[in-house]
Structure 1
Amino acid sequence: MLRNAVVLGTGLIGTSIALALRENGVEVALADPDPASLRMAHELGAGEVLGSGAPTPPADVAVIAAPPSAVPTALREAQGRGLAQVYTDAASVKDSVAVRAEQHGCDMSTYVPGHPMGGREKNGPSAARADLFLGRPWALCPTGKADPGAVTTVTELVRACGAEPHMLTAAAHDRAVALVSHAPHVVSSAVAARMLTGEEEALALAGQGVRDVTRVAGGDPELWWEILRNNPRPVAAVLEETATDLARAARALNAADPDREAVWGVLERGARGHERIPGKHGVRQEPEYAVLPVVIPDEPNALGRLFAAVGEVGVNVEDVRIDHSPGLPVGVAQLWVLGTELPRLSEALAAHGWSVHG
């Protein structure tokens, strides 16, 4: 089991990794070139500042939580200082990072490139959570020069953070994240950018749909440019295919007699593609899940009281989403439960005075 670790970088990802490790009894030392970020991570309980009574190097493992272009230099410096026996990183691009690490003269036998597939649209240590990676996939891309013991150690790190390790090559990883993360972020940003031209009357009608589509667009543009420029071709390929679908739909809708088949084809393939996205526990969402809408007042502890009532019934909530009603003192909690449990839960909540619709 891991005894101690060093986390270099105390932003959202690094601090979340440190918090998760601390919850599992791992001693953590922290370092960051930004004193304010480092101080906040320390005050949040993520670990001790490196060199101030923290674990004495070499630690079992060091995690470099830095942008892709900064990883090779940070790795070489960390190895030169002998900070740990094994090293990994958390950058969202792997192929170019691994290539540059070797060019920088890094010891590739102790380095296992990694990428936790968890994050938030918020940045910095204040947004960190110990459960950020719980149940999430964590890509590991060991090079052909990585020592098997190093791979084992980094795999233990992943499991200590509550994540599931996925082994794949660096090139395969970059193609995958272009499809499921990087290109979707650009598309989300493009949709959100349209809101800049919207009239206030239009924006007042915004519902959960547009919020869902544009949620990740709130990320730091500078950080995302750093990611995209290090994975340009795989992202461009996905964006070009997406642009082709959008252009086809636009031409069809602009026609004097809109082409139903052209637009329907995009919508139908989109529905089938959505079904392929893994749901809870890393498997496709099963059809037996049903949604129970419950009206809740917009007041303190309303959601807590609802969950307490659900707990008394003994029904497990698989997922939840809150839809707010603009200008009204109420919202709607959408509870995902097993279809077989829906009637029992609906009846019980109604008996306790909740306004259920299902």
Structure 2
Amino acid sequence: MASELRTVLVVGTGLIGTSMALALRQRGVRVLLADHDQGAVRLARELGAGEEWHPEAGTPAEPIDLAVIAVPPAHVASELLALQRNGTATFYTDVASVKVEPIERAGQLGCDLSTYVASHPLAGREKSGPGAARADLFLGRPWALCPTPDATPEARAAVQQLVELCGGNPVEVDAADHDRAVAVVSHAPHVTASAVAARLADASDIALGLAGQGIRDVTRIAGSDPGLWLGILSGNAAPVAEVLEAVSRDLSEAATALRALADGDGTATQELTQLLKRGVAGHGRIPGKHGGPAPAYVVVQVVVGDRPGQLARLFQICDEVGVNVEDVRLEHAPGLPLGIAEVSVQPDAAAVLTKALHERGWQVP
């Protein structure tokens, strides 16, 4: 088994790399930071993510137990080779969202695959860069581990310990299975959201003025860095294309049905109904926050004023009456100094919370 991780090198101080560094620092791990962008390194350091790595200074006082390569997929293998040639660390991993291409390329370059375990934390934000980093980004999130047959038990244990220190949930999976899976749950959805958001570029002011929470939900991830996503999609092109082709067929059939419906063919509603039902069924399969089937919560809507302390007071009431908040979403009212807080609670707690809010003068629609 690998010994305890004491010193970790993070190469790449973007959102994922810096978030990982922050999480490790909270657990007492010494973190060294490296990036071609010196500004990113400085910002990560100022945020408390660790200390800048100066390889030209020679061997650090403590040996580097694990090097984490947090760079775009196309650069993982070359970065791994350079680090291994210099004997930088005992073990190595990467956190790119594509696995087959980096692993194959590493083998082609002659990297030592016995000390390397590819990995991918299924966590992120629509924002990028070290300024968006959070130490709790990985808490409870799946973290795919894709070791090759060459990986030693010690290398596997070191990367597993990294995941545990960051609060992730390690899941060992074949690299090809991983890439097909993320094409369905991450990569193709991003392209789809971008396609919907692209319709807004030429939308009328009237349409944008009528935009509600639905369009914000569907397009939220479309605000991510295009350059970053081009690298991800290029590395997983074939699996993503297969998913998008299937989505395109569904959309094409829906458009055909709508054209028929517009021409007076009432039977076209059957195809639309089937697609909508399949959508409900698919949405219902998304795991809940604790894993497994998503539980059925009741949403309590509360009018919240747009002023400091309102959400804190709302959560305080939940605490006073013993109601656990399972989830919360905010929907702002355009042009008005208020919004709606949608508080998801257990079914038997909805009436308790509603009554408590009414008694304290809150508006519950």
Identify the TM-score tier after normalising by the shorter chain.
over 0.9
Q: Distance in 2 between matches of 1:83 and 1:56?
A: 13
Give per-residue Cα distances to partners, 1:124-171, cap 9 Å, x unaligned: 000000001111000100011100111111011001111100100000
Write out aligned runs for 1:4-15 (5 A). Answer: 4-15=7-18
| Secondary structure of the corresponding residue to residue 90 of structure 2 | strand
User: Pairwise mapping of residues 117-196 of structure 1 onto structure 2 (< 5 A)?
Assistant: 117-196=122-201
Deviates more, 1:206-215 or 1:45-54: 45-54
Quote the Cα distance in structure 1 between the aligned partners of 2:164 and 2:60: 21
**1:90 aligns to what?**
95
Contact (CA 8 Å) 1:27, 1:55: kept in 2 or not? no
| Counterpart contact for 1:29–1:55, Cα < 8 Å | no
* Residues 311-320 or 267-276, more deviating: 311-320
Match of 1:312 in 2: 320
1:53 CA displacement? 11
Paired position in structure 2 for 1:50: 53
Aligned length: 356
SS for the counterpart of 2:65 is strand
Cα distance, 1:54 vs. partner?
10
- 1:3 deviation in Å? 1.4
Aligned residue among 282, 287, 299 for 1:278: 287
Alignment partner of 1:356: what SS?
coil
CA drift of 1:58 comes to 3.2
CA distance in 1, matches of 2:293, 2:327: 14
Say which SS state the counterpart of residue 311 (structure 1) adopts: helix
In the alignment, structure 1 residue 200 sits paired with structure 2 residue 205: yes
2:82 aligned residue (73, 77, 84): 77
State the match for 1:262 in structure 2. Answer: 271
Match of 1:222 in 2: 227
Give the Å deviation of 1:55: 5.4
Give unpaired runs (5+ residues) of structure 1: none
User: Which of structure 1's runs of 4+ aligned residues deviate more than 4 A?
Assistant: 52-55
Deviation at 1:309, TM superposition (A): 2.1
Answering whether residue 44 of structure 2 is matched by residue 41 of structure 1, we say yes
Deviation readout 1:212-247 (Å, 9 max, x if unpaired): 100000011111111111101100000000000000
What is the CA deviation profile of residues 265-285 of structure 1, one whole-angstrom value per residue up to 9, with x for unaligned ones? 111101100000112112221
The verdict on how the C-alpha distance between 1:56 and 1:212 changes in structure 2, with shifts beyond 3 A counting, is farther
Q: Do residues 60 (structure 1) and 65 (structure 2) align? A: yes
Structure 2 vs 1, CA of residues 53 and 213 (structure 1 numbering), >3 Å: closer, same or farther? farther
Distance 1:68 1:17 in 2: 17
Look up the equivalent residue of 1:44 and give its one-letter code. Answer: L
Q: Residues of 2 paired with 1:281 and 1:252: CA distance? A: 39
Q: Unpaired segments of 5 or more residues in structure 2?
A: none
2:362 to 344, 354, 357: 354
| Counterparts in 2 of 1:340 and 1:94: CA distance versus 1, 3 Å | same
Aligned CA RMSD, in angstroms, stands at 1.4
Q: 1:119: Cα distance to partner?
A: 0.4
- CA apart distance, 1:302: 1.5
| TM-score normalised by length of structure 1 | 0.97
Distance in 1, matches of 2:166 and 2:270, equals: 47
- C-alpha contact (below 8 Å) 1:90/1:116 kept by paired residues: yes
| 1:235 counterpart = 2:202 | no
